[in-house]
Each structure stands twice: as structure tokens, then as C-alpha cells.
Amino acid sequence: MSNDLHITPPTIAEMEQRLSDLAKSKSRLELINRLLTSLSAVAGLDNMMSHILDILMQTVGAANIFIVYRLNDAWQYRDIYGENRLLNESDHPEVTQVLADGKPLRIDNPGMQVPYPGRESVIPVENWVFPLLSQDRKIGAICMEGMQLNDINIFDELLPFFIYAGVMLDNEISNYSRLAEAHRQLKDSEILYRTLFEQLPDGIVLWEVPAHKPIQFNTVAHRLLGYSREEFAALTITEFDEGKSAAELADTTEILRRKGTATFETIHRTKNGELRSMLITLRLIELAEQPIILALHHDITDRKRLEEERRHLEQQMLHAQKLESLGVLAGGIAHDFNNILMAIIGNADLALMRINRESPAVENLHRIEQAAARAADLAKQMLAYSGKGKFVVENLDLNILLEEMLHMLEVSISKKAIIRLHPHPHLPSVEADATQMRQIIMNLVINASEAIGDKSGVIAITTGCMDCNRSYLKDVWLDENLADGLYVYLEIADSGCGMDRETLSKLFDPFFTTKFTGRGLGMAAVLGIVRGHKGAIKVYSEPDKGTTFKILLPASGKPADMFNVDGPADEAPLSGTVLLVDDEETIRGIGAEMLGELGFTVVTAADGREALEIFTSRDDIVIVLLDLTMPHMDGEQCFRELRRLDPAVKVIMSSGFNEQEVTGMFIGKGLTGFIQKPYRLSTLNNTLREALLP
């Protein structure tokens, strides 16, 4: 009997079941392969997560699928419906468990029991949670909620997909983090660049080549020149750089191509026409493969002004030291020289007394006397230069002195030169030596005549007084601690050839002269005389534009008809601060003295603009004395602005026009009063009392 194993052939139903199982297995393998292949073609973190969610929903299906992943040190949540937020761990404890132990998890969801088509019983609904790992690091997890698959073997077959998805997601998260960090660094760099670009105190401009129009620039660049950003953007370099032609700009660009950088000083014209000195530093760079000029515009106007002031002060100091040294020398020589001359003149006088009048030697003795007299004059000039001459000081009216000298001056100058006197009425007196003042006037007038030469010209002699402050006195010759205050000035101006800067610097040097003959002590003596009178000299001159000498002497007295006070002795005293506004220096000087005599504190302004600045900066001004006719801003405009600033302000208008003409312009506008020029102190006193006292 045969012991062969009997194998029962499968039934047709069993064969069909096996074929069905094989088909399902093949289908699952193809599904997993398709899932894995699709991940390889995706780039970008956002795309990767969207693709994972979409492909799982399309191929496997679930009520909801969401990914949990770690980004920026926090767990993020993203689901198939587009919700994207931080993970709330208390809402998904199963996910927290998988993230902790790194193992996949299947959980029944008893809240969802749905029938499955083709089966009599219901299939339990499950939540599947798969960890996403990469090199044993927990990258995140994928949760598939409400799984209703009849074939639950797919759970195990999906594991390779999630392993691969973890690696791919890890790469994308790393790339995203690197890109985010690079973006952050780029943004920080941009913020830093923009901050530095805007906060630097210099103008920075990127200039297009060869059009030389600005591409980018900071706020300082356009504000330096007074333009708005839109106005500056429409400019070219030649429109504000003085002396830069298109050809010169092309040369500069060529230098930059060869050397890469260039630095130079230039002049820029602002929108309002002011010239500003600039130090320009250029560098040629490339942006988007196009040549660009990076320019640094440094405003050195103030620095150059300070350097010029420092050089001027140094020159003044050196000149003062030189004058002092030479003054000591000149004084010593003059002293000894006078002693010798005394012996010469004395002996000549004795000889003339004792010699026979008919002797031929008499003529020789007279010549000795004449030569000695000229030598004595020279000694006096040397003493005057040293500032140690013996002055016969008296209260002197320069107007009277000039009237007395006028004829002598007219015969001493060229026939083609005309003298024009402009004496200021009511001029305060000065304490001065009349002889020395005559020498100053004669020297300056003769020099003016020689400067005019053979041409027709005018020599203008003007007197006046002005209130000088430190800012005005700092630019004078002999600024030896001169005090602020009222100064009388004598101004002699000519229309002659003028002087250049080099000649001006040597003007008061002893023995320096522009003449073919002469001793060269004239201007040095003038300087010495002025120094001896505690005064100062201002000189204005340009070649072919003439020269003006302004002699400043401290005022010692007040003109009687200007400063007489006829008011009763029992008048209430006046006080407070008065703002005196007038464009004439002399009027401000005399006016300040008069107001001071009445008991006021005085601040002065040269025009309406300055008056408004002073008025807004002070709160102690009780009344404004305002000139009607002034440059820049006249009295009428200034009055309107003052009333706008303070409707209760008290303003007295001053003018050479009569009262009817002026007050008619201000009817109903709140003008406090009017005073007509020229006015006496008593008139000013009465006008102010009417305005201020009840």
C-alpha cells in the first residue's frame, strides 16, 4: 500500500481567495513604491509636507491626516485641511507618546463605528500614529485619524514609507533652517547697512555712470544742499558742483577705473545759492555688473572757516608780537635819537645866537635846524608806532576836525580825486590827540589819492558811531582785549586800485611800502597811534575794487543836543528790556546809548528777521522800537509777525517820514506809537512814557 502524502487540491474558492490576496499584496507594494518614489521628486519644506499629506489622503485615505514636526525649537502642527499652528500636546496625547518612545501606535477610536460596504459587521475605526525618525533622531510624527481600511495589514506595510519620509523631512527642515538663518542674517545685514547708511553724518550717494545721476542716497546727502529727496534725485553732479564740467567728470571716472578710489575737495552750491566746501571720497564698484560710483560727501565748510579763523588769530598774534618787539626797539631808538637831536638843535640855536648874522654859515645852521626838525618828526612817528608817543588828550569832535582839515586835504590830493564828507550828526566825542588824529587822516587820504592815481576817483570820508560786540571786534587789527560798547568810527574809502591778500598781510609792517620812494612808516605810525588811543582798525580791500579803512575809537561823551533830558526831576524811572531794530549801525549805537540813559536794558537787531528771532527767544521785552525801512524784512512785515506771535506786544514805529504818512498804514492794527527821525532824547523819553506808563 502506498505511503505517499495525499494532498487535497484547493478548491476553486480557495484559489480565487489566494489570487485576490496576491493581487492585494501587489497593489499595496505598488502603492508603497509610488509613495516612496513621489517623495524623491519634492523639494522645499512646505512642498514636502503638503505632498506627504496629499499623497496619503489620495492613496490611503483617512478622516484627517496631520504632521507634527519640530521647527525653531517648537513642535508645529499641520493638517490636511490647511491648519498650521503650534502643537497643543494636551489635545493629542497619543502623538506625545509616539514622540517620546519613537514607536508606531494604533489606537481604537470608539467614537467612530461605521459599517464597511460588503460586510455584515462594523469595522472599528482606528487612529494610526507613525514616528518620523532620521538617524535615531525624532523628527516628528504623522497621525492618520479615522482609518476605516478593511485590510489592516497595510499598517505594517506603510512603515518603510514613514522611515523614508522622516529622512526626507529631516533634510528639508535642515535646509529650511539654514535658509531661514541665512535670510535672517541677510535681513540683519540689510538693517545694519540701512541704519549705517542713514545715520552717518556724511552724505552717501551711489552715482550712475556715465549719466552721473543719483541711484541711491541717504537723507544727509540731499539735506546738505537743501533739496527734498525728489529734487535731489532729479539732479546731476554738474548742477550743484561748482566748476565740474562733463569732461572733468569723465576724467575723474577714468581715474577711478585705473586706481579704484579718489579723494578731493570741491565746492557745492546749495538750493538757496550758498557755497559749501566739500571733501569728496569716491570708490568705483559694480552692482548688477554695472559700474557705480560710491561717493562720500563730507561738509568741511565749518572746519575750513575755523581753520581760517585760527590762521587769522595766529597771524594776529604773530603780528602783535612783532609789533610789540619792534615797538620796544622803535621806542628805544626814538628816545636816544631825540637826545641826540636835542644836542644838535640846541647847539645850532646857540651858534645862531653867537655868530655874525652876515656870516655865510648862517644858512648852513638853518639847514641843520630844518633837517633836525624833520628828524624830530621821524622820531615822533617812531614813538607813535611804538604806541608810546606823548599825546595831548582832549575831548575831540571828529566832525569839527574834518571840517577844519578839508581845505588842506583837498590841496594835498590829486586833481582827479574828489573828497566827499559824510559826517554823522550828533556824533559822540572821543578822547584823542588832535595832532595825531590829523596825521592819521592825512596819511590815509594821501594813500587813497595815490591808489586812485591818474584816474578819476572818489575819496569818501564818513563818521558815525556803532555798538560793537565781541563777534565784530574779533576781526580787527589790534584786538587787544577791546571792550564791548559804543565806538566812534572814522571811515576813509577810495575807488582806487585796491590791495591783494599778500599786500594786506604786510600793510602795517614797518618799512613796508608799495611806493618807489618813502620811508614806509606811514601805516605803521597810524597803527601805533590807534593803539595808543585804545582803538582798532578794520581794513576792506580787493584788487581793482578800492580800499576802506575803518578807525574805531572808544566814545567818551554824548552829543549834548541828543542826550539832553528836559523832563521834570520827579518823573517815575523807566526800566525793562527794549528791542531796538534798525539796519544802520550808527542808529543802533546812538539809540542803545539813549535808551540806556533812560534806564532800559537794550537788545538790538539789524533787520526784521533777526528781530523775530530775538523776540521769540526772550520773554522780558517790554516794548519794540522798530525802524520802518530795512532790508530782508521791513518794519511793516516785522510788525505783522510780532503781532501774530504776541497780540499784546507794544511797538513804536520809527521813520524819517512824517507821522501822518506812517500811522495811516497801521490804522486799526494795534500800533502803540510813532517817533520821527532824527529824535532827541527828550522826545524818546516822552514817547516811551506815553506807551509804558498809565
pLDDT tens digit string along 91-131?
A: 888 998 998 888 999 888 766 555 545 555 556 788 899 99
In the predicted model, is pLDDT for residue 159 greater than 90? no
Amino acid at 681: L
Listed range (237-251, 323-337, 357-371) with the worst mean pLDDT: 323-337
In the predicted model, is pLDDT for residue 201 greater than 70? yes
Give the pLDDT of residue 518.
39
| Burial class of residue 166 in the structure, from the number of CB atoms within 10 Å of its CB (0-12 exposed, 13-18 middle, 19+ buried) | buried
Give the pLDDT of residue 567.
43
Mean pLDDT (whole number) for 607-630? 91
> What is d(CA 74, CA 363) in angstroms, rounded to the nearest whole number?
124
Which residues does residue 512 pair with via DSSP β-bridges, in sequence order?
none
Tell the residue number behind the cell numbers 545759492, with chain if given: 273
Amino acid at 262: A
Q: What is the pLDDT of residues 30-86, one digit of tens each?
A: 666 666 666 666 778 888 888 888 888 877 778 889 999 988 888 999 999 989 999
Listed range (27-41, 165-179, 427-441) with the worst mean pLDDT: 27-41
Give the pLDDT of residue 55.
81
* C-alpha cell read off for 37: 518614489
Q: Burial code of 115-139, b = ≥16 C-beta within 10 A, e = fewer?
A: eeeeeeeeeebbbbbbbbbbeeebb
Give the pLDDT of residue 528.
78
Q: Which carries the bigger pLDDT value, residue 555 or residue 524? A: 555
Mean pLDDT (whole number) for 535-545? 86
Give the pLDDT of residue 506.
74
Mean pLDDT (whole number) for 555-568? 52
SS3 553: strand
* C-alpha cell read off for 464: 558815525
H or E stretch covering 468 = strand 457-468
Helix 45-59 to helix 159-199 angle (10° resolution) is 150
> What is d(CA 220, CA 201) in angstroms, rounded to the nearest whole number?
7
In the predicted model, is pLDDT for residue 560 greater than 50? no
What is the per-residue DSSP string for 113-172? EEE-TT-SSEEEEEEEEEEEEETTEEEEEEEEEEE--S-TTHHHHTHHHHHHHHHHHHHH
Amino acid at 503: T
> What is d(CA 246, CA 244) in angstroms, rounded to the nearest whole number?
7
Q: Which carries the bigger pLDDT value, residue 243 or residue 151? A: 243
Residue 668: φ, ψ to 5°? 75, 10
In the predicted model, is pLDDT for residue 538 greater than 80? yes
Q: Are the C-beta atoms of residues 589 and 634 closer than 8 Å to each other?
A: no
Mean pLDDT (whole number) for 149-165? 74
Q: What share of the chain is helix, strand, coil (3-state, %, to 5)?
A: 45, 25, 30
Q: What is the pLDDT of residues 640-660, one digit of tens each?
A: 999 999 999 999 998 765 566
58-62, 240-244, 456-460, 504-508 — which one is most confidently predicted on average? 456-460
220-229, 390-399, 511-520 — which one is most confidently predicted on average? 220-229
Calculate the alpha carbon distances from 547 to 424, 462, 518, 552, 582 in Å: 21, 14, 21, 16, 26
Indicate the pLDDT class of residue 598, thresholds 50, 70 and 90. confident
H or E stretch covering 436 = helix 434-452
* C-alpha cell read off for 65: 491626516
Strands (E), 226-274: 261-269
Which residues does residue 317 pair with via DSSP β-bridges, in sequence order?
none
* C-alpha cell read off for 370: 630844518
Taking CB atoms within 8 Å and a gap of at least 24, the contacts of 197-203 are: 202/296, 202/297, 202/298, 202/299, 203/295, 203/296, 203/297, 203/298, 203/299
> What is d(CA 437, CA 529) in angstroms, rounded to the nearest whole number?
8
Q: Please tell me the number of Cα atoms within 13 Å of 438 on its side-chain side.
A: 14
Neighbours of 623 (CB within 10 A): 23
Tell the residue number behind the cell numbers 538663518, with chain if given: 181
| First CA to last CA distance, the chain | 158
Amino acid at 494: D
Which residues does residue 491 pair with via DSSP β-bridges, in sequence order?
462, 550
Give the pLDDT of residue 459.
92
**DSSP code of 359?**
-
Q: Are the C-beta atoms of residues 123 and 150 closer than 8 Å to each other?
A: yes
Give the pLDDT of residue 66.
94
Give the pLDDT of residue 1.
45
Q: Torsion angle of alpha carbons 343, 346, 347, 349, nearest 10°?
A: 160
Indicate the pLDDT class of residue 451, thresholds 50, 70 and 90. confident
- What is the C-alpha radius of gyration for the chain, rounded to an integer number of angstroms? 51
Q: What is the pLDDT of residues 462-489, one digit of tens each?
A: 998 888 877 777 777 665 667 788 889 9
Q: Are the C-beta atoms of residues 510 and 521 closer than 8 Å to each other?
A: yes
Mean pLDDT (whole number) for 456-461? 90
Question: Residue 421: CB partners within 8 Å, gap ≥ 6?
Answer: 402, 403, 406, 461
Taking CB atoms within 8 Å and a gap of at least 24, the contacts of 613-621 are: 614/579, 615/579, 615/642, 615/645, 615/646, 615/649, 616/645, 618/577, 620/576, 620/577, 621/576, 621/577, 621/578, 621/579
> What is d(CA 586, CA 465) in angstroms, rounded to the nearest whole number?
5
In the predicted model, is pLDDT for residue 563 greater than 80? no
Give the pLDDT of residue 519.
41
Kind of pairing between the strands at 261-269 and 122-134: unpaired
Give the pLDDT of residue 471.
75
